[in-house]
Amino acid sequence: MPKYISLINYTDEGVKTFKDFAERLANARRGADELGVTLDAYYLTIGRFDAVVIIDAPDNRTAAKVALVNAANGRVRTETLVAFTEAETATLADELPA
């Protein structure tokens, strides 16, 4: 299943309600599960982005749905990237012309 990396920035509302983080993450996991998506990892970060989430989704369309559902609450803005595993990257490299 394809992997996706979502770079997250919290809105002012997201920061104000951050104390409810555990409940919000549990809700996000349940919502993702309902769409056939697995939330692999969540990392709070310091820098340009406030958090990073790694998910497994069946396709781009479903990954986009997850991003839109999570952004619809007005607490986050996301930028989602398609990610290739080490094995997928090695295969891709092997397929390049000489």
CA angle 35–41–44, rounded 5-degree value: 120
pLDDT digits (tens, 9 = 90+) for 63-85: 999 999 989 989 999 999 999 99
Is the pTM for the entire model greater than 0.75? yes
CATH number at residue 32: 3.30.70.920
pLDDT digits (tens, 9 = 90+) for 35-60: 999 999 999 999 999 999 999 999 99
Cα of 20 vs its chain's centroid, Å: 19
Query: What pLDDT, on the 0 to 100 scale, is given for residue 93?
Result: 97
**Distance in angstroms (rounded) separating the CA atoms of residues 27 and 94:** 41
Domain tally for the chain? 1
Is residue 3 a contact partner of residue 55, using CB atoms and an 8 Å limit? Answer: yes
User: Where residue 1 falls among pLDDT bands split at 50, 70, 90?
Assistant: confident
Domain that holds residue 54: 3-94
